[in-house]
Structure 1
Amino acid sequence: MMYRGLGAVSAFCIGIAAADYLGVSLTEWAAACLAAVLLAAAARKTRWAWPLILLFCLLAGGARLQLAAEQYDGLPHYVGGADIYMEGTLREKGSTYETDGKAMARYVVDMERFAYAGEGTFREGAGAVYVSAPADPSFQPSARVAFRGVLRPIRYYKNGGAYDAQHRDKEKGIFLKGYGDDGGLTLLQPAQGWRHTLANLRETMTDRFRAVLGTDGAHILSSLLFGGHYDELPPELIESFSVTGLIHILSVSGSHIALLLSVVQILGRAAGLRGKWQFFLSAGFVLLYGAMAEFVAPVVRASIMGLICSFSLWARRDYASVQALAAAVLLMLLYSPYLFYDLSFRLSCGASAGIVLLCGKVRPWFSALPALLRDGLSVCLCAQALLLPLLFANFHAFPVYSFAANLLVAPVLDLVIVLGLAAAVLGFLCEPVAHMVLHGLSPLLALAVKGNYFLSALPHSRFWAGAMSLPTVAAWYTALAAVFVWPRQRRILLVLAAVVGLGSWGWGQLHKPEAVVHVFDLGQDKATCVVYDDDSAYLWYNKSSWANPEQAAYTLTPALRYEGVFRLTGCTVVGHEPEKTAAQIEANFTLDKPCRLADDAMPVAAAEGAIPYYLYDGLPQRRLPQGACLELRQLPPYEEKTFPSRAAALIFYRGGGHDERYDEWAEGAALYDIPWFSPARDGQITGTYRKGEWTFTARGGE
């Protein structure tokens, strides 16, 4: 009975995923929901009642996502490509970056109204847009600004392991992007409102921390308390917390809310508060704290569960953590169904589900250990058990010393958070006492940070692996079900898990291809990686002067790691400032030899010999080979006499805008019935060469 809530929420999530894939109209989803309700009402006293309720939850999830999708499609996408004047409120300020020696900042601006250039008639706006503008002057969130320039559609890269930016933007209602030169973004009204007040409050606290802890210490403590602002933290600190698996502590999560509620409950009881007054006090602090943390998804989830727990104490009811988790997830998805695709939401809910579902069964395994070790190990294992496939798919590594970090570093950081919150409050009441607390906190913070650095520097601190295959994921969850869900069928399920997991691995080894070619979707940049049957991997990268300077680090690296490529036998980098791109590749991969650099792309076949795959960085000076897969990074003029009419497949790139050569080559490929692919259209392209034949898959592009 207690698991029916999770069952209903799971069905709701399946409906969301189905609606995103199927594209069925809202009317059809609503009609199906109504039919499910009528069937469930008719079968309310039969064994079919619960399955029909689950069916209704699934259909309701599909209907809710389709409603959100139609609302997003109703935003004024038609202004894309037009020169406009727009007014709006600055929602958030992103990180800064440099391009052509100029510091730029990226903002999210809510579109309130706009007018086409040369017209005086304003139209009502909706949604939000990305605006890139010079970092100086800087604009604060909640300020009203004006933008002059051209808004363009957002280009999403379709690669394995990529962050799901498209669903994130749909969840936030962001649908276009604009670039503002000097004067392109101007201030209409200074920042104001409750968001601005809370931002100033946080900045005031950080300044007080800085007086005792220094700049880095103040930013670290501020992130520990309220999350975010990672661009203010030392990069090596973020890396060390990622290595040890404690990165969640730098973003407000359930542990922060639990600590806050514990402290508030203790203080409330000490003050003689009981019942509803204790609940109102807890709710007030949780809401204020959530607002300070900008109501990110994990905070909202933990806040809802915390408030349910506080209410149960007031109402003197038993607190069912499973049902509280189901209620929190359902409420959040009803409000914003695209949260289902948010990585932080998935990690938060998955870790919470693992703890509430498995911890009681895992804790007896370590009954011989002291309580501190037993509880710490149980929580650490359960929090990651359900998330293992997600961790490898998105982070491509497992933190080997996670248990040690959670046992040694996390308790110190919990104490730092409690003392930091106390110092933050005391700063407004008695600043000298707040400074005393900060002086006591300082060595604890230094101990935790240095201890984490030590653990992250130990050898083999991460187990690297690419994304798990679907059979391996199925085997993993089957094994979990055998251990925790159906113990009576444990032996059968474990054997099944072993057969599926080992069988898929054995099948892969027996049918291992001679080579796999990955052509990645990097916009103006171009990257191709060939992985041979001996696991050696070669990378060819062409850098464009128009692309993000750090495209190799931010887009290519996760895509290669997702495919299980962590070591490169060789790498060739050509194009614009190749030494900078080579440095990014060498920093993220193990190379058998340094990257080969060239300033200009040469018209040579870069990948030929062992497999019939020819990659041309420039215009080939000879007749294109027949019976092979050809990748052309620059298209020569279309000529029927020289067109590779017997090629196994063609891969080529759009030059931007209306590219006549691209259109002519696409028509030529269709004329000769040759499969052709383009990263801009198809996303990441994977070609598998086995026993003399090519097979291709694509992730789907624009």
Structure 2
Amino acid sequence: MKRPFFVAVLLIVFAILLTQWSNSALLGLGIFGAGFVACYLSKEWKYRKEVMVLLIVASFFVCYTYWTLCCPYGLRACNEQRVNVVFQVLSETEQRGKYAQTTVLVYGVQQKSETKMVRQKMLLRVYGEMTPMRPGDFYQAKMKVFEPRKAEEKGEFDYNLYLKSQRIYSIANVSSSEITKLSKGHLPFFIDKIIDIKSSIIENMRRFMPEEGLMIVRGIMWGDRMEEGQIKNDLTVVGAAHILSVSGLHVGFIYLLINFLLKRTKWDKKKQMLIVMAVLLMYAAMSAFAISVLRACMMFAILQMAKIRKKVYDPLSAISLAAIIVLLLNPLVLFTASFQLSFLSVAGIIFFVRVVNLQFGSLPRAVRSVVQTMTITICVQLCILPILLYHFAEISLISVFANVVIIPLTGAIVITAFFGMFFCFLPFMQPYFAFLTVQVYVLQVVAAKFASAKYAALTLSAMPLSMAIAFYICLFALFGYFPFQKIAVRRMVALSLALCAFGFVLQMVVG
């Protein structure tokens, strides 16, 4: 079977969607079980064994998704009650207006006179002035625990499902005056040490850069949350807000830089791969293991192994394997915007950019580079259009032109800031960080100029699922993936579009 990982990820996505939609494991197990029996009886089919294995994997994801949705978490009995909790801090504290927010791991709950051992992640909101809690340390506090709010209307953001995608099933509110530190602690794989290093880097950069410029650098480098401001609004309007959330683009710049430096050494490829992966993993930890960073790190790891073993690198199989691994960590990440945008962006590059670039092979190199950048932007925007409309209800009409300028600027900022991370502890780095500040200022000016254009962005209603499926069918047809010379293919495409149209009409009537 060609590309089994790609077929597997399609089945897994279907299994997760079916389980979440039905809120039951019986329907999915029934469908995949019937398919398994049919394959078992078809003893002469060439791919019988491979398909049976894939159906078993899909059935596993049905059960796994249902368990994740309906997990009997330990704090369920404490909902809407004030309890005494012992917890360990897992992440950096973020300021969110009136409160500070962090993720904690609960170890014990004292309710009335009863103490219960619990091991569960929880979102903690701290009100009042406080000293930031260090990741890894243990604390105790009396707090009110409640369940995250579920979506009440169709199309509404489901905060409950979003938190479940991070294995968070409870939220707690606490006053800073009620928090008591118990002891120091550590997180696995030195994550707390890496976070300490990041905090130290930020403090040293603060000596050389204005606060606004530093916030933009933090957003670009590590995806740190930014307050609403002019630069964030401008980048959203021009379709370049992705540079403020760490993605494969940022990892790609760092990967190319490290590879460029290592090629100047005499180390063998295995040592180079270990260094590259160590740096990328440290960068992923600083970025709180964002889904897009994990995806990019896994794809680059597969690329490095393919080079060492002298195998052909297949990006479609690599992204499929990365998606399977991410969904194994938590199948509900499928419903997050970060997963959808990250994987569909790369899918757009894999499926469509190559087809378009074949038409521009004879252009001069300088012109071809600009055209290829625009081609990548167009293909990515087309591929993620339904997702953008569903989550944000807005698309940029000038992103193709804006990204031609903004992406190289972002690359320059990432590389300059990456070197600055290693030398920001030195006292004479003011000129270097002044150069970084100028780059950030240029980015602000460019984003503002593009955002000031008339009709830079367009607000639309969310695209229904039936229309999204029809959109992707037409997109693949436009890029020549369907052999329309065959009558069976023409009929299949026509039937699929007719079913999508029927689904759309039915949704309008029922909705």
**Alignment TM class, shorter chain as reference:** 0.7 to 0.9
Query: How many residue pairs align between the two structures?
Result: 501
Against the structure 1 CA distance between its residues 479 and 182, is the aligned structure 2 distance closer, same or farther, given a 3 Å change threshold?
closer
1:458 CA displacement: 1.2
**Counterpart in 2 of 1:217?**
213
1:122 aligns with 2:115: yes
Distance 1:20 1:472 in 2: 20
1:135 aligns with 2:160: no
2:129 and 2:176 in contact (8 A); partners too:
no
Give the match's secondary structure for 1:115: strand
**Counterpart in 1 of 2:15?**
15
Distance 1:452 1:426 in 2: 29
Greater CA deviation, 83-92 or 401-410? 83-92
Residue deviations 1:653-701, cap 9 Å, x none? Answer: xxxxxxxxxxxxxxxxxxxxxxxxxxxxxxxxx9x9xxxxxx875xxxx
2:130 and 2:176 in contact (8 A); partners too:
no
Q: CA RMSD in A?
A: 3.3
Residue deviations 1:285-315, cap 9 Å, x none? Answer: 1111111111111111111001111111222
Distance 1:146 1:306 in 2: 41
Residue 387 of structure 1 aligns with an amino acid whose one-letter code is I
Distance 1:39 1:316 in 2: 39
1:246 aligns with 2:245: no
Against the structure 1 CA distance between its residues 431 and 306, is the aligned structure 2 distance closer, same or farther, given a 3 Å change threshold?
farther
| Higher relative helix content | 2
Distance 2:222 2:64 in 1: 31
Report sequence identity in percent.
17
1:271 CA displacement: 1.6
**Counterpart in 1 of 2:324?**
330
Distance 1:205 1:301 in 2: 25
Matching of residues 43-62 of structure 1 within 5 Å: 43=42, 46-47=45-46, 49=48, 52-62=52-62
Against the structure 1 CA distance between its residues 462 and 31, is the aligned structure 2 distance closer, same or farther, given a 3 Å change threshold?
closer
1:196 aligns with 2:195: no
1:436 CA displacement: 4.0
Residue 404 of structure 1 aligns with an amino acid whose one-letter code is F
**Counterpart in 2 of 1:427?**
424
**Counterpart in 2 of 1:401?**
398
**Counterpart in 1 of 2:341?**
347
TM value normalised by structure 1: 0.65
Against the structure 1 CA distance between its residues 22 and 216, is the aligned structure 2 distance closer, same or farther, given a 3 Å change threshold?
same
1:144 CA displacement: 1.7
Give the match's secondary structure for 2:125: strand
**Counterpart in 2 of 1:450?**
445
**Counterpart in 2 of 1:148?**
142
**Counterpart in 2 of 1:305?**
299
| Higher relative strand content | 1
1:183 CA displacement: 2.8
Distance 2:89 2:137 in 1: 5
Give the match's secondary structure for 2:279: helix
**Counterpart in 1 of 2:282?**
288
Against the structure 1 CA distance between its residues 25 and 51, is the aligned structure 2 distance closer, same or farther, given a 3 Å change threshold?
closer
> Unaligned regions of 5+ residues in structure 2, if any?
none
**Counterpart in 2 of 1:643?**
none
Residue 81 of structure 1 aligns with an amino acid whose one-letter code is E
- Pick the aligned partner of 1:461 from 452, 456, 461: 456
Against the structure 1 CA distance between its residues 123 and 502, is the aligned structure 2 distance closer, same or farther, given a 3 Å change threshold?
closer
Matching of residues 271-670 of structure 1 within 5 Å: 271-366=265-360, 370-427=367-424, 432=428, 434-484=429-479, 485-488=481-484, 492=490, 496=494
**Counterpart in 1 of 2:201?**
205
TM value normalised by structure 2: 0.88
1:5 and 1:323 in contact (8 A); partners too:
yes
1:182 CA displacement: 5.6
Residue 60 of structure 1 aligns with an amino acid whose one-letter code is F
**Counterpart in 2 of 1:111?**
106
- Bigger relative contact order, structure 1 or 2 (CA pairs below 8 A, ≥6 apart): 2
Against the structure 1 CA distance between its residues 321 and 45, is the aligned structure 2 distance closer, same or farther, given a 3 Å change threshold?
farther
2:23 and 2:66 in contact (8 A); partners too:
yes
Distance 1:489 1:479 in 2: 16
Residue 131 of structure 1 aligns with an amino acid whose one-letter code is L
1:362 CA displacement: 1.7
Against the structure 1 CA distance between its residues 130 and 440, is the aligned structure 2 distance closer, same or farther, given a 3 Å change threshold?
closer
Against the structure 1 CA distance between its residues 495 and 142, is the aligned structure 2 distance closer, same or farther, given a 3 Å change threshold?
closer
Residue deviations 1:92-129, cap 9 Å, x none? Answer: 3565455xxxx432333221001113x1x421012123
**Counterpart in 1 of 2:83?**
84
Distance 1:499 1:12 in 2: 24
2:122 and 2:169 in contact (8 A); partners too:
yes
Greater CA deviation, 354-363 or 3-12? 3-12
2:360 and 2:368 in contact (8 A); partners too:
no
1:225 and 1:420 in contact (8 A); partners too:
yes
